[in-house]
Amino acid sequence: MGVTDDDAVIFVLFGATGDLAKRMVLPAFYQLAQHGLMPERWLLIGNGRGDVSHEDFRGRVHDALTEFGPKPEDGPWEEFSQRLRFAGGGFEKSDPGSLLDVIEEEKRDIGGEVRFLHYLAIPPSAFAKVTEGIGEHGLAEGARVVYEKPFGTSPSGFRELDRIVHSVLDEQQVFRIDHFLGKEGTQDLHALRFGNSMFERLWSAEHVRAVQIDVPETLDIDDRAQFYDATGALLDMIVTHLFQLAAEVAMEPPGSLSAADLQAARETVIAAFRPLDPAEVVLGQFEGYRDTEGVAPDSTTDTFVAARLWIDTPRWQGVPFLLRTGKQLHAGAQQISMVFREPSGPLADQLPPDGTVLTVSVSGSGAIHLRVVLKRPGPELVLTTGTALLPLEDVPDADPLPPYVRLIHDVVVGDRSLFTRPDGIAHAWDAISPVLDRRPEVKPYPRGSWGPDAAAELAAPDGWLLDKGLGPNGRD
């Protein structure tokens, strides 16, 4: 991109004092330093509206690492902290704050050619003005720019943001991050399917009856109330994370695992997502949500969503992809389950319920869980089920990286394999538009439950496997 690998890299973290930065992004940068994956010469400049000194910002980063890990004492804190700077006053086209002054000062000190990596850990509503500022103030040439999700908050908002982004940046400079694509379990879907012929041959409607993508959370919205009340579970999770996971499962085999081929396979299958039927979508809001500071007293924001997605390709015709996510639910998990069809033959009338299921957990370091039908040991032929669990962290020589660490490293080296393209995002907005236009009634549900009762009916006849304790998170 016009610079060499020996050039210095200046990371500019917009929104550096916000919740996302302290929980995810700053710890990821520190872990990159722990693993020796940072460029040889680098600086990280935090940007925000407040007037914070370099030393105070270092203190905030230290506090974030202490709270969310890794602990400062477990890594190269002294060296890392000396590479941290802060530029206050915000940043936009009309007013760059102090960022340009800090950059010029640091460029003199660091010497040589400099490559910029801008990370926008800010609300989606601020993406456009910061992007325009990057272009206006000469920070776009040769830069790579990371956008958090959601990329837009409506179909029209997406199109306008995409127009602005491409007026400043080439597509190869744009990295739309979806950290679910960086999870070890998600990436292992490719190896599991394409590296094992027994699974590849079963990976279709001929053998699979249903797919469940289940991401319930026990968490509250914490200090994200303002963002969350303007977004909700549908936009925060379905149009981003869960659609991407569905695409990872449903894609046709790519020509290779190159970035271009993987992205093409992923975006092509998203184009085959049938627009969601509002009658097959359940929205919910946990009781007490409106009492949260920062939430409107009459808010109808959804904190829960379950949906039935259909994918109109020959491989998946007629197979429901059941999606579920929400806050303040009974248990937390991130799992993809493929429910296999019952075989015909001499044992058909003796099969136990909840028979053959392959589940991939994408939480933490990931795990693969296989549930199969077998004979209960004993003198009579009685069928039951047994399970095998393979935590990916137990694989010999495993060195799993958290998703943000993996993805930021990919941005540094320019690998776009696990990042989304605008055509895929456009198709995702097309798929969800009917629900935005004819929004179902938001139903209340008790904290600690599995959400509105209607969501259980949506998953019939199998029901949600996790609710029955099935899968690696249920530990059946």
Catalytic residues: 241
What is the spatial distance between Cα 13 and Cα 29, in angstroms, rounded to a whole number?
11
Provide the terminal-to-terminal Cα distance of the chain, rounded to the nearest Å: 50
The burial of 417, by beta-carbon neighbours within 10 Å (0-12 exposed, 13-18 middle, 19 or more buried), is given as: middle
Which two structure tokens, joined as six digits, stand for 382? 């009685």
What is the spatial distance between Cα 475 and Cα 207, in angstroms, rounded to a whole number?
24
**Strand, coil or helix: 132:** helix
What is the spatial distance between Cα 340 and Cα 356, in angstroms, rounded to a whole number?
6
DSSP assignments along 136-203, one per residue = HTT--TT-EEEEPSPS-SSHHHHHHHHHHHHHHS-GGGEEE--GGGGSHHHHHHHHHHHT-HHHHTT-
Contact yes or no for 148/122 (Cβ under 8 A): yes
| Residues paired with residue 335 on neighbouring β-strands, in sequence order | 214, 361
Prior bond of 353 cis (ω within 30°): no
Q: Which are the contacts of 288, defined by CB distance < 8 A and separation ≥ 6?
A: 447
Which two structure tokens, joined as six digits, stand for 86? 């802060």
What is the spatial distance between Cα 166 and Cα 182, in angstroms, rounded to a whole number?
25
